């Protein structure tokens, strides 16, 4: 399953499958994987990259694309979202602004 959070965040995410995990060199991580980031978007400004795995949104775990979409839809334009992501074995916190 794929969700496009554009233009609100400017990224596309997919459920983390074993095939995607292998393609991005990930181990048994849970969450959703960022597969595309639009140049000049909130996601790009926050530093998200293709291959990042989103583990949490505002300290609430993300299980799959449907869960991700539900959580993001609860934010209004201008809100700041705290993202916990896994990148190449490191865990990073990023913040991004929701756009229209």
2-97: CATH homologous superfamily?
PDZ domain (2.30.42.10)
pTM for this predicted structure: 0.86
| Segments making up each domain of the chain, as ranges | 2-97
Task: Name residue 90's beta-bridge partners.
Answer: 87
DSSP labels, 42-95:
HHHHHT--TT-EEEEETTEE--SHHHHHHHHHTSPTT-EEEEEEEETTEEEEEE
Interval 53-73 mean pLDDT? 92
pLDDT tens-digit map of 17-43:
888 788 777 776 788 999 999 999 999
């Amino acid at each position: 399953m794929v969700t496009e959070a554009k233009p609100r965040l400017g990224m596309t995410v997919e459920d983390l499958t074993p095939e995607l995990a292998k393609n991005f060199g990930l181990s048994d991580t849970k969450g959703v994987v960022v597969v595309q980031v639009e140049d000049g978007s909130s996601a790009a400004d926050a530093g998200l990259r293709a291959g990042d795995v989103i583990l949490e949104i505002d300290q609430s775990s993300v299980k799959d694309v449907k869960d991700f979409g539900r959580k993001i839809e609860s934010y209004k334009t201008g809100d700041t979202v705290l993202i916990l992501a896994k990148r190449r074995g490191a865990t990073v916190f990023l913040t991004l602004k929701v756009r229209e």
